[in-house]
Amino acid sequence: MYTGSCLCGGIKFQIEGELEPIQICHCVQCRKAQGSAIVTNIPVQESNFTLSQGQELIGAFESSPGKQRCFCKNCGSPVYSKTAKLPGVLRIRAGTLDGDLNTRPVAHFYTNYKVNWYEFNDDLPKFAEGLETQS
């Protein structure tokens, strides 16, 4: 089991089971939402996610039709996103998890939108767009 929280600790959650590989995203929406050059997401089945504290603190912003970015209304920490395109899946922000993780990044996505001041320092696969646009 893995645990996580927002910055202020008002939202706490648990994830059962093993974690999927970390996805590194460079898209403009993710960068703007996180205020960072990259975003590290872990897909988690909603059935494996338990919000143990702070349900009333979860805020949501629909950044595009059918996609919600969920955050703490108190401290502003992004916690997860969800999209109608992937029902039952939450994309947990890896940085909100506590302790060591038994997973690693798998690839960089949306590299066409990478900022010029971020350098790749790994040999992970790089995709110009997302997987759904790959043939």
Cα(119)–Cα(70) distance, integer angstroms? 28
How many angstroms separate the CA atoms of 76 and 55, rounded?
14
For residue 6, give both structure tokens.
């927002």
Q: What pLDDT digit, counting tens, does each position of 19-33 carry?
A: 999 999 999 999 999
Please count the structural domains in the chain: 1
Q: What does the pLDDT look like over 81-112, one tens digit per residue?
A: 999 999 999 999 999 999 999 999 999 999 99
The CA–CA distances, whole Å, from 20 to 50, 74, 92, 103 equal 17, 28, 10, 7
CATH code of the domain covering residue 120: 2.170.150.70
Residue-level pLDDT at 132: 57
For residue 55, what are its two tokens?
A: 């349900």
pLDDT above 50: residue 134: no
Task: Specify the pTM.
Answer: 0.89
Across the chain, what does the average pLDDT equal? 94
Dmax over CA atoms of the chain, in Å, equals: 42
pLDDT band, residue 133 (cuts 50/70/90): very low
Percentage with pLDDT > 90 across the chain: 93
Task: Starting at the earlier edge strand, list the strands of the sheet with 12-15.
Answer: 2-5, 12-15, 49-53
Which domain range does residue 49 map to?
A: 2-133
